[in-house]
Amino acid sequence: MKPVVYSAMQPSNEDLTIGNYLGALLHWIRMQDNNECVYCIADMHAISNIKTNKAIHSSSLDILALYLSCGIDPIKTIAFIQSHVLEHCQFNWLLSCYAYFGELKRMTQFKEKQLKAKEPINIGIFNYPILMTADILLYQTNIVPIGKDQKQHIELTKAIANRFNNMYGEIFTIPQPCISEHGSCIMSLLQPNIKMSKSDINKRNTIYLLDSFYSLEAKLNKTITDSDRPPIIYYEPIFKPGISNLLELLACVGKTNIAQLEIMFEFKAYGCLKKDVISILNKLLTALQTKYFSIRKDEGYLNKIIYDGSIRARKKAIITMNKLYKVLGFSRILTNISNKH
């Protein structure tokens, strides 16, 4: 049996970013041949963040079309929408009875969102890591390719899975995160000390996969670098976060290594580095967007992938749910896998 890989992106009413691509998607694509991959569009997670959900299905199809244009193969891989596989939410409740308030309160992402919140913060944001734990454990996942920001959530997933296994026997596979050394935390363009996020309200912080050349050029030309004199290009994320971020983008997209780039740019100005980043990203985005706009037009095709994906995902999910119901002593055995929309 091949190892199971699970990962997801939230349809937050925005397109995916270059951070989502380098931190996660690029690895999802690479893993498709030798693993059993389950890639989700996490719409249930998204509603903890977005106010209007009228366009959530359309936004989910945008994300699916981006998955496909980046190289996700819906035959090899299960691609589905989280809300279509009812077991995610059902399992979320069961697991919430095995997770502790204190451990959730320590989650950095929750603390950051709580600090920034201008309105009362909803329980969905607090509960997010339990739903994420349910997402992962439901498929008996071995590997979770993610960006660095999700590392703490995976540690929690492992802790809950181990706790459960210690009580009831070997119920869950313990998942391992797959976080690459470079590209797993692409930083914001104007605030290179915080992570780039698709839902950032300042769009000039973020490179979206569907940005036009003009938008890409304008954003990168305005990227914060530093005032070192003479300007020196080298990788030092703490003291030179802006320059390090540009080097990381260039290295990851151009498949070179950072040490080589430092030599290439030794006596060059910051503007030269920006120019090369713009050029390499433009090549990547142009190719990707051509595919995207042709795929996105065909909603019938996209909905069919989602429909098939949810049936394939549910078949797997139900096996874990049956196992769980049994060990927890519930009498109902789940056999119904009809998935009419």
| Catalytic annotation, residues | 113, 195, 198
Burial of 90 (0-12, 13-18, 19+ CB in 10 A): middle
Q: Does 147 bind ligand ATP (CB under 6 A)?
A: yes
Backbone φ, ψ for residue 177 (5° rounding) = -75, 150
Which residue number is nearest to ligand ATP in terms of Cβ? Answer: 23
Residues 39, 67 contacting (CB under 8 angstroms): yes
Q: How far is the CB of 47 from ligand ATP (least distance, A)?
A: 11
Q: Does 146 bind ligand ATP (CB under 6 A)?
A: yes
Q: How far is the CB of 163 from ligand ATP (least distance, A)?
A: 24
Q: What span, in angstroms and rounded, lies between the C-alpha atoms of 89 and 83?
A: 8
Q: Does 196 bind ligand ATP (CB under 6 A)?
A: yes
**Tokens linked to 217:** 């050029």
Q: Does 40 bind ligand ATP (CB under 6 A)?
A: no
Q: What span, in angstroms and rounded, lies between the C-alpha atoms of 46 and 189?
A: 23
Q: Roughly what angle, to the nearest 10 degrees, separates helices 270-296 and 241-254?
A: 50
Amino acid making up residue 123: I
Q: Does 308 bind ligand ATP (CB under 6 A)?
A: no
148/323 with CB nearer ligand ATP:
148
Part in contact with ligand ATP (CB under 6 A); list of ranges 22-30, 159-167, 221-229, 304-312: 22-30
How many chain residues touch ligand ATP (CB under 6 A)?
22
Q: Does 150 bind ligand ATP (CB under 6 A)?
A: yes
Q: How far is the CB of 105 from ligand ATP (least distance, A)?
A: 19
Q: Does 185 bind ligand ATP (CB under 6 A)?
A: yes
* CA-based nearest residue to 251, from 228, 230, 234, 229: 234
* CA-based nearest residue to 248, from 189, 288, 197, 199: 189
Residues 281, 220 contacting (CB under 8 angstroms): yes
Q: What span, in angstroms and rounded, lies between the C-alpha atoms of 289 and 23?
A: 19
15/318 with CB nearer ligand ATP:
15
Judged by CB under 6 A, which of 184, 205, 225, 310 binds ligand ATP?
Answer: 184
Residues 150, 177 contacting (CB under 8 angstroms): yes
Q: Does 309 bind ligand ATP (CB under 6 A)?
A: no
Judged by CB under 6 A, which of 199, 221, 279, 286 binds ligand ATP?
Answer: 199
Part in contact with ligand ATP (CB under 6 A); list of ranges 6-14, 79-87, 279-287, 294-302: 6-14
The residues that touch ligand ATP, with contacts defined as CB under 6 A, are 9-10, 12, 17, 19-20, 22-24, 49, 146-147, 149-150, 184-186, 195-199
